[in-house]
Amino acid sequence: MYFCAMETNRQKKIAGVLQQDVADVIQIALREAGVQGILVSVTKVTVTTDLSIAKVYMSIFPHQEGEKVLKEVNAVKSQIKHKVAQRTKHQLRRMPELSYFIDDSLEYISNIEEAVKGKDDPINNPELLERRKKK
């Protein structure tokens, strides 16, 4: 149940297998549901040292749809786990419990880029800065 700072080779291998298979299963499910215009990719999977829990980080574009997609994925969590278990039955003895999270690093990076480009320039528009409170 503990996430270790240093991953073992076994954890890395299982995480890689799960990342590919979970991404495939989610993409197929979205296609079958007829969802258009939403791109979901699995950016990272981390596995606990006892291999019982896997955290799946998904990047969703457009990011406004993130919460909705995450809610739908959690609603069919057991079906996704079953399909992934069928795909990995020759590689894993026991399928870890999957927990899903939104990876918002792309949104964070785009916010930094916008700030660097100067769209929200606090020098030209001091109203963007928070007011300092007097002690």
Whether 89 is covered by a domain: the verdict is: yes
Is 20 within the bounds of a domain?
A: yes
Whether 57 contacts 43, CB under 8 Å: yes
Q: What is the CATH number of the domain that holds 90?
A: 3.30.300.20
In a domain, 135, yes or no: no
Q: What is the pTM of this model?
A: 0.75
Give domain status of residue 88, yes or no.
yes
Per-residue pLDDT of the chain (135 residues; tens, 9 = 90+): 555 568 889 999 999 999 999 999 998 988 887 778 888 899 999 999 999 999 999 998 888 888 888 998 998 999 999 999 999 988 888 999 999 999 887 777 777 777 777 666 666 666 766 665 555
- 24 in a domain, yes or no? yes
Query: Dihedrals φ, ψ of 91, to 5°?
Result: -110, -30
The C-alpha atoms of residue 46 and residue 52 are separated, in whole angstroms, by 11
Question: Which H or E run contains 14?
Answer: helix 9-33
**Range(s) of the domain holding residue 91:** 9-104
pLDDT at 96: 95
